[in-house]
Structure 1
Amino acid sequence: ELLNGKSEDQIASFRGRNIGIVFQSFHLIPNMTALENVAVPLELAGHADPFGVAARELEAVGLSDRVTHYPGELSGGEQQRVAIARA
């Protein structure tokens, strides 16, 4: 989608729907499971099924067997994949 000629509000809306950010420090919430860490931003965005979407995103990054684990129980690579699923 071309953004030329779009208003700032339209660009902000596009960015919010289509662009995710993965920080070098993953900023996972330590007392929430991988599933909850991915679902929270979806809930805040008003998704109808945030936990279903979160489960699918975690499956897409190969973590369907780790959804109930907390960040401290995940390897660095797994934490990174949770952050990617959340983005």
Structure 2
Amino acid sequence: MQQIPVRTPIERAHQVLESEGFDVIKQIDEPFQGGKKANYLDGERIDGLIFVRVWRVFVFFESNAVVKVVVEMREVGP
């Protein structure tokens, strides 16, 4: 997976996520996981068939530039 460095333009970060197979939603002034409001890209990708890995990437931005990236992964299976 490509890295998205701090200060990357948000449109470039969006392109990187999509090129890596993520479905991406742009959230503007929305609460993050029930907390403080923020601007961020919410990317999700699911890998596998029986044993599945669910990847979530949150790319926070201000003034159209990345300020923080959070990655979560969980495994789901029988």
TM-score by length of 2: 0.31
Q: Which has the larger radius of gyration?
A: 1
Structure with a larger share of its residues in strand: 2
Larger relative contact order, structure 1 or 2 (CA cutoff 8 Å, min sep 6): 1
Structure with a larger share of its residues in helix: 1
